[in-house]
Structure 1
């Protein structure tokens, strides 16, 4: 069973999550950007990460994406996963967070954010729970409540989803269902 490690504060913070927000490049993807000759961008997403997002939704945690880039690929992935709130082409992520809080009526203390680089820092500081993939920038890693063992795009999102499920005492219940019990 995944854990939030020895940091009891991280587990306590994760237990309050009602809205989990993710960056895209470096979090839901490995951060690589592939461009076709026509200039179309391509991204690779991890299926384990996607299932983690769906499990959070299944227990009533809303999900959101806040990203600086704008991409039809991200919109398609968000739709496929049932992500309720998609904010693309965002220059100021704290403004997007404030809009999400107003729209949902959820407090910042009840929000989690997973990011990997400097543009994520200000919004992470405002959320009650901040997480990062293992390969996040060192300045981000120093300032979050929890760091995944996996790299962005390679299971880090699934790790944080599992950790939130554990903190909210729902992991074992969902595992039992998956086992057919």
Structure 2
């Protein structure tokens, strides 16, 4: 008997654009400040490789975050993320602008967030994901919850889930193996 895919898998199979929050998703949510008031963040290299895999299969990636940070801009540039929205108060407005710019429908867009400021934009997207340590209200409302915590490979898990849902994971892995 063939098992029917989960609703989250079906939704992930349609994704053409995946957007992410930063603090608590790409990072563990900790904010480190120097004596001069500069902010430091730590990113997981597994997450970055997952984003590159999405880009390779034609899924566009974006960051929509409430904070403004040169560190985030540098990381986005390093990863080739061209859609960067920082200092955003209403993430839904940024998403609508991004959808209009790319011609992608909300049903084909996903968002990964971890806290209440992400709920409205997540509910607008066809696919919503959260790290394991997201706020409980967020976890109750998403289609995919990573086993990993934010900053510890949660982004990579959602990237891999999209690759699997779109039937592209095995080919990506074979390419990595040199096959």
* TM-score in same-fold range (> 0.5): yes
Pairing partner for 1:72 from 70, 73, 87 = 70
Q: Secondary structure at the match of 2:178?
A: coil
Moved over 4 A (4+): none
TM-score, with length taken from structure 2:
0.97
Rounded Cα–Cα distance in structure 2 between residues aligned with 1:174 and 1:144: 26
**Structure 1 residue 8: deviation in Å?**
1.2
| Structure 2 residue 158 is matched with structure 1 residue 171 | no
**Structure 1 residue 7: deviation in Å?**
6.2
Structure 1, unaligned runs of 5 or more:
1-5
TM-score, with length taken from structure 1:
0.96
**Structure 1 residue 84: deviation in Å?**
1.7
Partner residue in 1 for 2:58: 60
Rounded Cα–Cα distance in structure 2 between residues aligned with 1:153 and 1:137: 15
Rounded Cα–Cα distance in structure 1 between residues aligned with 2:103 and 2:38: 36
Pairing partner for 1:47 from 37, 45, 48 = 45
Structure 2, unaligned runs of 5 or more:
none
Rounded Cα–Cα distance in structure 2 between residues aligned with 1:84 and 1:162: 21
For 1:1-181, list aligned pairs within 5 A: 8-181=6-179
Q: Deviations over 1:92-145 (max 9, x none)?
A: 000000100111000000001000000000000000000000000000000001
Q: Deviations over 1:5-50 (max 9, x none)?
A: x861100000000000000000000000000111000000000000
